Amino acid sequence: MGSRDKPWGGRFSEATDPTVERFSASVHFDRALARYDIRGSIAHARMLARAGLIEPAEADALCEGLLAIGEDIEAGRFEFDPALEDIHMNVETRLRERIGPVAGRLHTGRSRNDQVATDTALYLRDAARAARRGLALLQQVLVERGREHVDTVLPGYTHLQRAQPVRLAHHWLAFVSMFERDAQRFRDLDRRLVHCPLGSGAIAGSTLPLDRTDTARALEFEGPSANSMDSVASRDGALEMLSATAICMVHLSRLAEELVLWSSAEFGFVELADAYSTGSSLMPQKKNPDVPELVRGKSGRAIGNLVTLLTIVKGLPLTYNRDLQEDKEPLFDSVTTLRDCLEVLAGSLATLRVQEERMALAARDPMLLATDLAETLVREGVPFREAHEAVGRIVGHCVEKDLDLGALSREDLRAFHEAFPAGADELLSLERALEERSLPGGTAKVRVLEALEAASARLEDEIEAIEELGALDSLPALRPGEPQGGSA
């Protein structure tokens, strides 16, 4: 194909212009689909033999050749040729070189349209499971660090202002909950990737007696897709993957932002390990939180990739259009970005040092207990709005006079509301403020310990489920231009 041959098929009499060849080539990124292309082709070849469309010996030759090519690709021995445009033609051309003209039988009853849709569905299934694995490992780190810091107290914040005291374990469990919902989104995607596009052909199926159920089962789908046009036209699986990834990356970005803030001198709540920090090229005293900063920045890539594919798909008529080639780069980039961010954040959290005394000092700010003072009045029968207004005036008085809220006497407090039953030293206690928040989801120790145990049990079940699905330890997710065996 390309400048050395006529374009695909006998319709054309001129070779492809080299600029078009370069412009339209996709093998530099769609080679990430290689293992799925090989697997789909083997299933297709076996089906063709069972359907009587090729001889069993021909199917054997096709499958043996495909397996050898797959081994070469995985080992980095395969030389990808951009002139052959995409992963499909690279594999088929090499197959012809290995086994001869019989390679031409492989494409019987198949189009690159249903071929790439099938490859992508297989890839998405592995990508969703890999994301779940990475999330589970990150959550495990958060749970284990939480166990270490059940009794570590720090201010919780709203509007980045000190609000109320919380346990550090409770704070980290908030992210465990976020990531659990992220994992559910990837799990939901996996549940929708159950129909196999193979056999849909270019648009309308095939006149040949293909057994679509056979190939679907061989590739571990529940069955064939219901509509051939939808099969080759739709990319909502990739869109859902990009959406789930973008949401997850936003959650990772929020966690990363806290690590950036907490590791600053102004907070001083944590110190990142040297292995997950960098220095300054000019200022020798600096220890920069580059890892969480990069995670925070890379969330923008994930959001942009989702918008890119939404924009590509929104105006396309049915069915396949070459625009859909542009789905691969944002998809592979987001999958790779998520994989890397999950890994480096898990390492950062596992190795960071918690500055417990610095957190405790901030948590001893008596203003953090102002809400408790208002709720004391509520327990005395005062309407909350009235109690809130009274305590607000007390806080303003303390700020104006530079007074310690916790040192106000009963007489001091009763100057603002006569229902106060005692002085602040009796009414306010950091430990009581934590322990009395014992409603489900609260920061009382018993609730935090229960939450840690529950999260740990759910993670054990999640990891077991992922293992049963056969999730890959290594996913072939490429960014544009990222090398993976051979040369492009």
pLDDT at 481: 44
Catalytic residue among 159, 177, 195, 243: 159
pLDDT at 480: 43
Average pLDDT, the chain: 92
Helices (H), 76-167: 87-99, 112-148
- Strand ranges (DSSP E) for 159-294? 161-167, 195-196, 223-224, 270-271
Q: What is the DSSP letter of 273?
A: -
Show Cβ contacts of residue 231 under 8 Å, excluding neighbours closer than 6 positions.
114, 117, 195, 197, 200, 225
Please return the burial class of 203, using the count of CB atoms within 10 Å of its CB with bins 0-12, 13-18 and 19+: middle
| Sign of the alpha-carbon dihedral angle for 142, 147, 150, 153 | negative
**Which domains, from first to last, does the chain contain?**
2-108 (1.10.275.10), 121-362+458-469 (1.20.200.10), 365-435 (1.10.40.30)
Is residue 13 part of the annotated active site? The answer reads: no
Confidence of residue 384 (pLDDT cuts 50, 70, 90): very high
The residue that leads in pLDDT, 12 or 480, is 12
Catalytic residue among 177, 206, 225, 280: 280
> Tens digit of pLDDT for each residue in 444-465?
999 999 999 999 999 999 999 9
Show Cβ contacts of residue 323 under 8 Å, excluding neighbours closer than 6 positions.
312, 313, 316
Query: Would you tell me the crossing angle of helices 328-351 and 112-148 to the nearest 10 degrees?
Result: 10
Q: Find the mean pLDDT for residues 397-415.
A: 95
Confidence of residue 400 (pLDDT cuts 50, 70, 90): very high
Residue 6: is its pLDDT beyond 70?
Answer: no
pLDDT at 472: 58
> Tens digit of pLDDT for each residue in 341-378?
999 999 999 999 999 999 999 999 999 999 999 999 99
pLDDT at 157: 97
Please return the burial class of 228, using the count of CB atoms within 10 Å of its CB with bins 0-12, 13-18 and 19+: buried
77 alpha carbon, distance to own chain's centre: 31
Residue 213: is its pLDDT beyond 70?
Answer: yes
Least confident interval from 148-152, 199-203, 353-357, 463-467: 463-467
- Bond preceding residue 319 cis, omega within 30 of 0: yes
pLDDT at 333: 96
Is residue 251 part of the annotated active site? The answer reads: no
The residue that leads in pLDDT, 305 or 25, is 305
Confidence of residue 83 (pLDDT cuts 50, 70, 90): confident
DSSP string of 453-477, one letter each residue: HHHHHHHHHHHHHHHHHT--SS---
Q: Find the mean pLDDT for residues 412-431.
A: 95
Q: Find the mean pLDDT for residues 71-90.
A: 92
pLDDT at 1: 36
> Tens digit of pLDDT for each residue in 218-257?
999 999 999 999 999 999 999 999 999 999 999 999 999 9
- Placement of tokens 């052959």 in the chain: 84
